[in-house]
Chain A
Amino acid sequence: MGNMTIAEKILFQKTGRKVRPGDIVIAPVDGVMATDTTAPGALKAFEKMGGQRVWAPEKCALVIDHAAPAPNERVANLHRLMRDFSREQGIRLFEIGEGICHQVMVEQGYVRPGYLFIGADSHTPTYGALNAFACGVGSTDLAAVLLTGQIWLKTPATLRIRCHGQLRTDASPKDLILFLTGKVGISGATYMSVEFEGEVFRNMSLAGRLCVANMTAEMGAKTGFVHPEGLQLPYPFEPVEPDASASYAQTIEVDIGNLPPQIAAPESPDNVHDIDRYLGTPVHYGFIGTCGNGRLEDLRAAARILRGKRLAEGVRLVVAPASRSVLLDAMLDGTAHTLVAAGATIITPGCGPCVGSHEGVPADGETVISAANRNFRGRMGNPRAQIFLASPATVAASVVAGCITAPPPNLDH
């Protein structure tokens, strides 16, 4: 002990072996999850591996979120495959409308601080907000975990990002992580763990921390952690802190005290600029949701701007709450009413149009302003549409104005 990063410490706790970056470990997994994009392939691979029973049904979860409810018979049959498997194996299945895998895993306590969690979805590093070593894999790797309860991993080197200063009232955790993604680049943390630290995180909400850890996937990272200081969870937990003499492959120091709202322009999440550069660009379609920004505080940030207003003519707004629980809260506190009254369409809690499968594909030549985390060409189902990424507040301000617009200061946060 004494000189470990958070990633090294968790792998040490799991394997009993002191690891250095580059070491290959075979580690026991604390939890595992797959979605309707990845589970069908995983279940098929599990069967081909000769799998009979999963290693620990209580540690496994399947979530129907990427194309839910099923948009066609092909997807409906894949969903049935998941339902049948979960029933046979005694695994919890999160049905359509229960929410996005990453939100549901956190809300339901499937992932906790210090866990080694494997998810068959690239945004699994989101759980680094909770101090879990959480890593995305594909279907066959997932099947191997279902069968053995283990995964092989290369111990990642760690990139430390130290932020100095507090966010301005017109900037949010999304603006911060967009800025940092632009700085590190889409492959700047490939194979690495990322650790975020700085005073800005100490009073950051869980939703904000999840949003930050979420986009380490866009830096190519294997996993990412927000420093646990100030982390609040609805159960007692032991935070995993990096040792003072931990060794980092690289440390980036960033002053965020005067950071304006940020925007990622097409066609990459690291194509990030101050919003000024794109102010006035006409938009056709706004989207608020995803594992990045579909939480209650995101919907509230949008509602604060949309209250008593209407969407600009010719502009539509789709809102996908991150979970049923988020939707219920938004119904109770009036947020959902405000959004719908302004002209928003609230869709099933889940991934919504983010992956281009259903529920709002943009038309040729349209411009989308989205609170999602990816804007690759064709991401939302049409390679001839362009996608800008921004905070929920920027999306809300833009759909009211009909063009990319900076949000007003939020004096509540």
Chain B
Amino acid sequence: MTDGIRGRAHVYGDNIDTDRIIPGKYTKTLDVQSLAEHVLEDLDPAFRTRLQQGDVLVAGNNFGCGSSREQAPVALQAAGVAAVIARYFARIFFRNAINIGLPVLEIPDHDIAQGDELEVDLVSGTVRNCTSGKVYQANPLPEVMLRILQSGGLVNYLRTNKTF
């Protein structure tokens, strides 16, 4: 887990489903770069070209609803997204992201705008909006999720601990 994340916000709306994050036709692969090539393509074809390594994806309610495909957070991570912020997440996406070590922060009252410069502190769960000066506090993760995220994901966690 990287503690210091600083990047620009790419802001989208509510109910961004996993078909929009990575269409099902591209999911049958273990090649993460091929997933990254198609990330968000049916939602915003220009996203890939605007995205810079370390940027932050920001959304409204229910981000990642629909399919259980872990390829969705994997595609975002492989494309260079450092963290995802939403008012709240669909449950499988939320688990999947933590499990692969992609930080996800639930901030019910954020008002982050397109292009805002954000600083994310994963230890305290705070996000500073360098553009507006506001600071947001994310809902705390359950302890088990925090341990998994701090290990860099569930693979590392279980390789070390063997059990929960």
Residues of A within 8 A of B (CB): 24, 26, 36-38, 40-41, 44-45, 48-50, 66-67, 74-75, 78, 120-122, 124, 136-141, 143-144, 147-148, 150, 152, 154, 186-187, 190-191, 220, 222, 268, 355-357, 361, 374, 376-379, 381, 383
* In the complex with contacts A24-B144, A120-B68, A40-B155 CB distance below 8 A: no
Across-interface contacts of B15 in A (CB, < 8 A): 186-187, 268
Contact A378 B23 (CB under 8 A): yes
29 sampled A-B residue pairs with Cβ under 8 A: A26-B144, A37-B67, A40-B28, A41-B71, A49-B155, A78-B28, A122-B66, A137-B95, A137-B96, A138-B70, A138-B96, A141-B96, A143-B154, A144-B99, A144-B158, A148-B164, A150-B164, A186-B15, A186-B65, A187-B90, A190-B90, A220-B65, A268-B15, A355-B24, A356-B23, A357-B28, A376-B19, A378-B19, A378-B20
Contact B164 A147 (CB under 8 A): no
Contact A357 B66 (CB under 8 A): no
When chains A and B are docked, how far (Å) is the Cα of A139 from the Cα of B92? Answer: 10
When chains A and B are docked, how far (Å) is the Cα of A376 from the Cα of B65? Answer: 10
- A40, A143, A150, A186 pick with most chain B CB within 10 angstroms: A186
Contact code string B120-159 (vs A, CB < 8 Å = 1, else 0)? 0000000000000000000000111000000001110011
Across-interface contacts of A122 in B (CB, < 8 A): 66-68, 92
When chains A and B are docked, how far (Å) is the Cα of A120 from the Cα of B67? Answer: 10
For A361, the closest partner residue in chain B by CB is B25
- Chain B's interface size range is 35 or more
- A120, A124, A154, A220 pick with most chain B CB within 10 angstroms: A220
Name B68's contact: one of A136, A144, A150 (CB within 8 Å).
A136
Across-interface contacts of B17 in A (CB, < 8 A): 268, 376
* In the complex with contacts A137-B95, A150-B163, A24-B143 CB distance below 8 A: yes
When chains A and B are docked, how far (Å) is the Cα of A268 from the Cα of B20? Answer: 12
Give the Cβ gap from B17 to chain A, nearest Cβ, in Å: 5
When chains A and B are docked, how far (Å) is the Cα of A320 from the Cα of B124? Answer: 50
* In the complex with contacts A24-B143, A75-B28, A38-B68 CB distance below 8 A: yes
Give the Cβ gap from B8 to chain A, nearest Cβ, in Å: 26
* In the complex with contacts A152-B164, A187-B62, A141-B88 CB distance below 8 A: no
Q: Does B100 contact A (CB under 8 A)?
A: yes
Contact A187 B61 (CB under 8 A): yes
Across-interface contacts of A154 in B (CB, < 8 A): 142
When chains A and B are docked, how far (Å) is the Cα of A376 from the Cα of B19? Answer: 7
* In the complex with contacts A187-B62, A356-B23, A141-B154 CB distance below 8 A: yes
10 A-B pairs with least C-beta separation: A138-B70, A138-B96, A187-B62, A140-B99, A355-B24, A122-B68, A376-B19, A383-B42, A378-B42, A139-B70
When chains A and B are docked, how far (Å) is the Cα of A220 from the Cα of B15? Answer: 11
Contact B163 A377 (CB under 8 A): no
Across-interface contacts of B142 in A (CB, < 8 A): 24, 154
Across-interface contacts of A268 in B (CB, < 8 A): 15, 17
When chains A and B are docked, how far (Å) is the Cα of A48 from the Cα of B151? Answer: 14
For A188, the closest partner residue in chain B by CB is B62
When chains A and B are docked, how far (Å) is the Cα of A143 from the Cα of B162? Answer: 12
Contact B28 A74 (CB under 8 A): yes
Across-interface contacts of A44 in B (CB, < 8 A): 30
Q: Does B69 contact A (CB under 8 A)?
A: yes
Contact code string B1-34 (vs A, CB < 8 Å = 1, else 0)? 0000000000000010101100111011110000
When chains A and B are docked, how far (Å) is the Cα of A44 from the Cα of B70? Answer: 13
For B69, the closest partner residue in chain A by CB is A37
Across-interface contacts of A144 in B (CB, < 8 A): 99, 154, 158, 164
- B29, B66, B142 pick with most chain A CB within 10 angstroms: B66
Contact B100 A140 (CB under 8 A): yes
* In the complex with contacts A24-B142, A268-B15, A220-B62 CB distance below 8 A: yes
For B22, the closest partner residue in chain A by CB is A378
- B27, B29, B144, B163 pick with most chain A CB within 10 angstroms: B27
Known contacts A74-B28, A122-B66, A220-B65; 4 further A-B pairs (Cβ under 8 A) = A137-B96, A138-B68, A190-B88, A377-B19
Contact code string B79-105 (vs A, CB < 8 Å = 1, else 0)? 000000000101110011001100000
Across-interface contacts of B154 in A (CB, < 8 A): 45, 49, 140-141, 143-144
Across-interface contacts of B95 in A (CB, < 8 A): 137-138, 141
Across-interface contacts of A138 in B (CB, < 8 A): 68-70, 92, 95-96, 99
For B27, the closest partner residue in chain A by CB is A37
Give the Cβ gap from B86 to chain A, nearest Cβ, in Å: 11
For B88, the closest partner residue in chain A by CB is A190
* In the complex with contacts A38-B68, A140-B154, A147-B158, A356-B24 CB distance below 8 A: yes
When chains A and B are docked, how far (Å) is the Cα of A338 from the Cα of B143? Answer: 57
- B19, B68, B96, B163 pick with most chain A CB within 10 angstroms: B68
Contact B20 A376 (CB under 8 A): yes
